[in-house]
Structure 1
């Protein structure tokens, strides 16, 4: 029997070796990263306000970018590492299966190859920012080894940071709406979804994109979400933005130019806003916010001008069915067989204490990335594919000084998507529907699946910037966007008409409740001064149109005579005042009900059963509150650590509380909605002033930091804090001040 014991020990040894191998292989397989090619030396001063917002100063722009990385790492190194892992194709080693799906897309889109090809073409001064930013990340990692999640993740260089941009940007205009169904092997319908003129279809997330069903006959199919976790989870909704001219902001026509940035992003994670102010001796002076992994702000203002963004959803993606040989190794194009480019990649998938190596094959054709499923091989081509000019464009926008310069930079079409709302000290306001829309040749049904066997269907480059919808100084004196069609932006008489633009462009025609409310309130308000603009921004009402009208029509027709609780719920809903202000008795019930139907419209998924959803809402309120009409503020909460505060607003209201977690006590802990909010004003003869707010604070992943949730109380009260754009102001209000350097 001794041999049995020896065999058992041998098996145990083999298992132990296998366990050790699975627990340790990934960092060695990935290999250690490399730092910036140049031995740059940097120094920056970081001054923090009473709310912890970093004001970063340096002699050069590169010094400031280095300081930005240090400051952000001090506040949220946890999330920065996730973003860097994504840019290295190693997120699965941190986030398991969901992270591995991000890594699959990283390889499918050739994010690394794009960065390696395009990054060297970026102007040297812009590359200097990225190298300095990488140096700051490396320094923080070296000085805080106990915080590093993944071995051999650092050092990184500018190409690594650039690869993160190449990976994430396409998902802001909904590339996943095509990738998701194709990867899932679900049949594609014959036409695109985004360009369908459906009035109750609202926008996908500014943040983490979600799968959408197509309307009947649309190209995109029903699909499970592909969890591209750039933030903490998939999200709906988008952003609001306003620009008001001096002629409209005061009775005498000489008011300030006002810009409002009202982004809706996840409150944590890789696309959560991080507020900062930057200033250098080379003329870079900007206040705003960026995402983890960026050396510069993406929105905000400088001394002369400012802008903000909202997600738009044009038709920027085309799908081609490839004609393959029997072996699946070649595709036919223009009568000739071409080799399909194929590469087998290893995806790390963390499972408990081990990381499994999962092998997957990714393909490419001359069209773009190729996905194989049971229906065949499908190639994808999308606007901005293979380009990284946005790295330089955002930097130039930060330093632009007037409308002409700003528009010239946008006209390069380097930023693939997102609307830009603009304002400046000269009193100009503008709205640019920015999108690298494919310059598609005539003769094909671009809303359907395209033939992959002819190069005539392969477009190259975007349409001209002048072909896109845009407004400059409309007579109304105001502009807005709430992820809606660009044909409702400036009011009756000033709005552009869709008839002015070719339908082949694929410009969306949809609206949102937020857009309907904004347009109505702006039209009704004679003078849109600061007080009126704040009233509009914090509006919590729904218009009885679109999905809201459909929902309440079905509620009115619902037979609930067999259930007393449902009868009470129906009465509360039919008596509801269509506001999510936590005043009416039906607000909590309506909040629970509306989100599911808004979600159906956002995701274009099947319409929920009204009775079933009402039963769920009734059960939730009865279980956790013992009544159907608790104050909505008891239900909807802002929670961060020990902070637990009431919230207002709903899904798709201008005051947005869009997504939430359901906590054990039945309260709804909001995780997505109003996020970075900034009011900017230029008054003739005065310096620019601005105020801002965020839901939590500067250090969202540092529970022991005093700014873990320091802005929360102001946020729930609809209050703002000063930005301290000018150095004299921050010095008077500084709480912490330090110099960082690698010299």
Structure 2
């Protein structure tokens, strides 16, 4: 018996050893710290932090500037950059667990790594490789200098990691995730988008907002050209703006915002021109319902009356368990002639979309930032590697314009491309893309101004200067959406025939809801109803007298916004709760916390960061866009802002073409360092609606310098 137990014990021990070896997460590749430091020392770059800690990077070459930018960004937000790198390798589940597994599966399904491996040498220009490599080298240097912050297996970062981040993430800006999630039932819907990591509040649509305005000399009071860049993003996380200024002796001199893992300025202003981007909703995705030979384990699909074999490979990734252990996962990957295939509870679907295996977005944004004339900028945009976004442009020559940017599939006319398509007709498998010249573009309109607020591109200036929808193909799927922000912008700008600097700043931060907005219609509906509950009748009277304003002193805004976001979501577009139930929720919680239903909006709507706790004006889908926790009053007594207005710039070129640039960030340059004075030093300015100067020349930067250093030296 003892021998049996001994043998059994040995067997169990052996199995445990085998299991430990099988489950132990493999170590990352070996690398030399001395080699990383030697590489870093080869870059010639100087970082100067101004009075607000904003990095101004001066490099000999563009690659030097990219290295300095990467190092500065790592100093301020290494943890988020590290998360982005992990996602760009399709390894999120290995570090975050099973909730991220669907993202890693899609990463493999879309063949991101294969795309970079196959096309990097042939399709990426040498100067683009250089800036991606320099950024990666900077992250590596910071990592070896601060090993306590680096997760096992992350270093070394490569330029391929940087490029893979673009290939993986950019399709999700135009809601690819929404198309994919719609194929699943409510019970089986996976978390398929990196956007899901931006907020615990599930703010998907609202952060895909933004405003941008351009006013030409013919419409400005003083003959200046002005541009407002006002993208709406989460205030923290991988899609939060980071502000920087990059200069090189290769001709780069650009200030603006970008995201963790991105080695260039994505929303920028240089001395000659600038642009802002807002999210648009072109139809860039097609879904095909496939007829397969076996519902459970399909091997073939029907196309033009004949059976075709799927291209079947495997997705392999690991899912974190505990400590150093993770579970290896292997799942089949299916491709048809349409593209990648998803097997869901509702059927088998092929997906064909813009950006699948795309690799050129970094090059395009880089070229946009280097452009010095309208023609050069238009040539950069015409590359059409950036998949979507409205772009509002202005320059020192007085040119302004609006581009409805889309990498539009070259579809045949006739089919309903916005519906699920039959997968057995090869004529529906489109090839190639339309040139950008086919998309709506409005250059130098006689009315002298253009804007974008995530609405239809056919109503972006005075009525007499707008383009006509009839001139563009229905296969483009161009949205007909009208936001409250677009209604208010049209009302304010159209009435002003001589727009001053103060005017454009005032309009940018307008705090009102239009009577035709979804929220005001919701309020009118609530006021028209009869209630037996005294609390609801009290709420009804407050809403009856509310004028749609969200200034700090407004009474009624808290009741309306909380009820509206509970009933219709943060973007006031999707019913989530019965209107009366939402009103009762808002009234009950306001009464409990404030002893009244109409506290001043500034008491409720707050900017809380570190030791800062400040009142805010604005709200969801107003031009002063502030998205705050709609359950905040119930949970803590205040609605803390977490998305909307974040990094904002206003550029103006005078009659001589000289640039003056002001900007603001909602928090400060130190994204994660709570011990830094720049963790929240811009918050008071932001809450007041003020701005700071953004110097563009070395002499002006040195006047406010607080730190001057050379990384790697």
TM-score class normalised by the smaller sequence: over 0.9
Alignment match of 2:651 (pick from 644, 656, 680): 680
Other structure's SS at 1:740 match? coil
Deviations 1:638-690 (A, max 9, x none): 11122111111111110011242755422111111101100001112252110
Separation of aligned partners in 2, 1:3 and 1:523: 93
> Which string of whole-angstrom CA distances, capped at 9 and with x for unpartnered residues, describes residues 326-363 of structure 1?
35112233444333123332443335645444443332
Helix, strand or coil for the counterpart of 1:489? coil
Is the counterpart of residue 287 in structure 1 residue 255 in structure 2?
yes
**Aligned pair 1:273/2:244, yes or no?**
no
Match of 1:644 among 601, 609, 613: 613
Q: How does 1:69-218 map to 2 (within 5 A)?
A: 69-120=70-121, 121-148=123-150, 150-182=151-183, 184-185=184-185
Give the Å deviation of 1:382.
Answer: 0.9
What residue is the counterpart of 1:366 in the other structure? 337
Alpha-carbon spacing, 1:321–1:679, altered in 2? closer, same or farther (3 Å): same
CA distance in 1, matches of 2:160, 2:391: 27
Q: Distance in 1 between matches of 2:548 and 2:9?
A: 70
Tell me, yes or no, if the aligned pair for 2:281 and 2:478 is still in contact at 8 Å. yes
Check the 8 A contact 1:232/1:270 in 2, yes or no.
no
Aligned twin of 2:58: 57
In 1, Cα distance between equivalents of 2:9 and 2:598: 65
User: CA–CA distance in 1 between the matches of 2:67 and 2:592?
Assistant: 52
Structure 1 residue 655 corresponds to structure 2 residue 617: no
2:545 aligned to which of 575, 580, 583 = 575
Contact 1:241 1:262 in 2 (8 A): yes
Query: What CA deviation, in whole Å up to 9, does each residue of 1:94-138 have, x standing for no partner?
Result: 333333332222122222122223332111111111111111111
Determine if the alignment matches structure 1 residue 698 to structure 2 residue 673: no
Deviations 1:259-279 (A, max 9, x none): 000110001111111111001
Indicate if the aligned counterparts of 2:456 and 2:481 stay in contact, CA closer than 8 A.
yes
Partner of 1:619 in structure 2? 588
Match of 1:208 in 2: none
1:125 and 1:402, CA in 2 relative to 1: closer, same or farther beyond 3 A? same
Q: Give the drift of 1:143.
A: 1.3
Does the residue aligned with 2:710 lie in a helix, a strand or coil? strand
Contact 1:661–1:671, Cα closer than 8 Å, also in 2: no
Structure 1 CA distance, aligned partners of 2:703 and 2:488?
A: 40
Whether contact under 8 Å (1:321, 1:449) holds in the other structure is yes
Pairwise CA distance, 1:633: 1.3
In structure 2, what is the Cα distance between the partners aligned to 1:350 and 1:81?
A: 17
Displacement, 1:615?
Answer: 1.6
Aligned residue for 1:217?
Answer: none
Q: Does the CA contact (< 8 Å) of 1:48 and 1:737 recur in 2?
A: yes
Cα 1:295–1:661 change in 2 (3 A) is: farther
What is the aligned residue count?
Answer: 698
Are 1:476 and 1:490, in contact at CA under 8 Å, matched by a contact in 2?
yes
**Alignment TM-score, normalising by the size of structure 1:** 0.89
What CA distance in whole angstroms lies between the structure 1 residues aligned with 2:58 and 2:189? 47
Identify the residue that residue 555 of structure 2 maps to in structure 1: 585
RMSD: 2.7
Distance 1:324 1:438 in 2: 26
Matched residue SS, 1:248: coil
Contact map agreement 2:243 2:669 (CA 8 A) in 1: yes
Match of 2:450 among 455, 460, 479: 479
How far did 1:8 drift?
A: 11
1:444 paired residue number: 415
Give the Å deviation of 1:447. 2.4
TM-score norm. by structure 2 comes to: 0.92
Contact 1:321–1:376 (Cα < 8 Å) also in 2? yes
Aligned 8 A contact 1:383 1:461 in 2: no
Report deviation, 1:468: 0.9
For 2:569, what is the secondary structure of its paired residue?
helix
Tell me whether 303-312 or 607-616 shows the greater mean CA deviation: 607-616
- Segment drifting more, 338-347 vs 635-644: 338-347
Measured against aligned partners, the alpha-carbon deviations of 1:224-260 in whole angstroms (never above 9, x if no partner) come to 764533534543320000000011111xxx5211000
In structure 2, what is the Cα distance between the partners aligned to 1:432 and 1:371? Answer: 33
- Return the alpha-carbon distance in structure 1 between the equivalents of residues 453 and 539 of structure 2: 31
- Cα distance in structure 2, aligned partners of 1:25 and 1:565: 59
Q: 1:401 to 1:68 in 2, by over 3 A?
A: same
Q: Does 1:261 align with 2:213?
A: no
CA offsets, 1:281-327, max 9 Å, x none?
11111111111111100012111111010000011110112222235
Structure 1 distance, partners of 2:526, 2:413, is 46
Aligned counterparts of 1:292 and 1:451: Cα–Cα separation in 2:
40
Give the deviation of 1:464 after TM superposition: 2.2
- Judged with a 3 Å threshold, the aligned counterparts in structure 2 of structure 1 residues 4 and 397 are, in CA distance, closer, same or farther, namely same
Structure-1 residue corresponding to 2:198:
231
2: CA distance between counterparts of 1:412 and 1:242?
24
Instruction: Give the conservation status (yes or no) of the 8 Å contact 2:509–2:623.
Output: yes
Aligned partner of 2:25 in structure 1 is: 26
Return the match for 1:337 from 307, 315, 320. Answer: 307
Match 2:298 to one of 321, 328, 331: 328
1:600-654 CA deviation, whole Å, 9 max, x = no partner?
766x544530111012112221232232122221211111122111111111110
Q: Is the Cα–Cα contact under 8 Å of residues 402 and 450 in structure 2 kept in the other structure?
A: yes
Unmatched 5+ stretches in structure 1: 188-221
- 2:284 & 2:538 partners in 1: Cα distance? 47
SS at match of 2:646: strand
Per-residue CA deviation, residues 467-526 of structure 1 (Å, 9 max, x unaligned), is 211111111111111000001111111111212212122111111001101111111222
Question: Is residue 569 of structure 2 the alignment partner of residue 599 of structure 1?
Answer: yes
What pairs up with 1:473-622 in 2 under 5 angstroms?
473-561=444-532, 563-599=533-569, 605-606=574-575, 608-622=577-591
- Matched residues in 2 for 1:103 and 1:33: separation? 25
Q: Secondary structure at the match of 1:617?
A: helix
* Distance 1:39-1:727 versus aligned 2 partners, 3 A rule: closer
- Per mean C-alpha deviation after superposition, the further-off stretch among 224-233 and 577-586 is 224-233
Structure 1 contact 661–670 (Cα < 8 Å) conserved: no
Asked whether the 8 Å contact 1:47–1:56 carries over to 2, the reply is: yes
Matched residue, 1:431? 402
Tell me, which stretches of 5 or more residues in structure 2 are unaligned?
A: none
> Cα deviations across residues 399-450 of structure 1 (Å, max 9, x unaligned)?
1111111112212212111011000000000001100111102343322222
Q: What is the SS of the residue equivalent to 1:545?
A: coil
In 2, Cα distance between equivalents of 1:244 and 1:652? 22
Contact 2:99 2:191 (8 Å CA) reproduced? no
User: How far, CA to CA, are the matches of 2:332 and 2:595 in structure 1?
Assistant: 54
Aligned to 2:614, what secondary structure does the other structure show? strand
Hey, what does 2:274 align to over in structure 1? 306
Structure 2 Cα separation of the partners of residues 223 and 681 of structure 1 = 47
Q: Partners in 1 of 2:189 and 2:562 — Cα distance?
A: 24
Match of 1:93, SS? Answer: helix
Tell me, in whole angstroms, the C-alpha distance in 2 between the residues paired with 1:167 and 1:471: 30
